Structure 1
Amino acid sequence: MQAKAGDFLVIASNHLEQPPRVGFIEEVHGDDGAPPYVVKWEEDGRTTIVFPGSDAHIEQRGQDAAAAH
């Protein structure tokens, strides 16, 4: 997995009723865009360090979405 600051991390939910968890990647600490990532979560505004699993993917949503964070 490779990301850059400004991308979004999306983690699939384990439950059908729940939407995926989405966070704004503020910092990338691995080589060549690899984890860990410092992520600010959309649902509660908390910031955490994340080593994403196989249920996660990276999205690039453009400058407008990144500027909102």
Structure 2
Amino acid sequence: MQAEVGDKLCVHGRVVGQQDRTAEIVEVLGTGGAPPYRVRYDDGHEAVMSPGPDSVVRHQDREPGPG
């Protein structure tokens, strides 16, 4: 799993009826974009996470480089 600051982390609900949670990655604590990540949820809560297999990184739109 690789991420950059500004990407979104989506954690899927693990049980029936539990909604997915989405948080913005505000700091990458691992090397080369690897976890753990400091994330901020919509309600302002922050946490340090090492996402599991129930999580997906949604990359922010990035401008293509020259060339």
* 2:56 partner SS: strand
After the TM superposition, which residues 1-69 of structure 1 pair with which residues of structure 2 at under 5 Å, given as runs? 1-42=1-42, 44-62=43-61
Superposed CA RMSD in Å reads 1.5
Higher relative helix content = 1
Residue 51 of structure 1 deviates from its aligned partner by 0.7
**Larger-gyration structure (1/2):** 2
Percent of aligned pairs with the same residue? 37
Residue 61 of structure 1 deviates from its aligned partner by 4.2
For structure 2, which runs of at least 5 residues remain unmatched after alignment? 63-67
How far apart in 2 are the matches of 1:46 and 1:62? 24
TM-score, structure 2 as length reference: 0.81
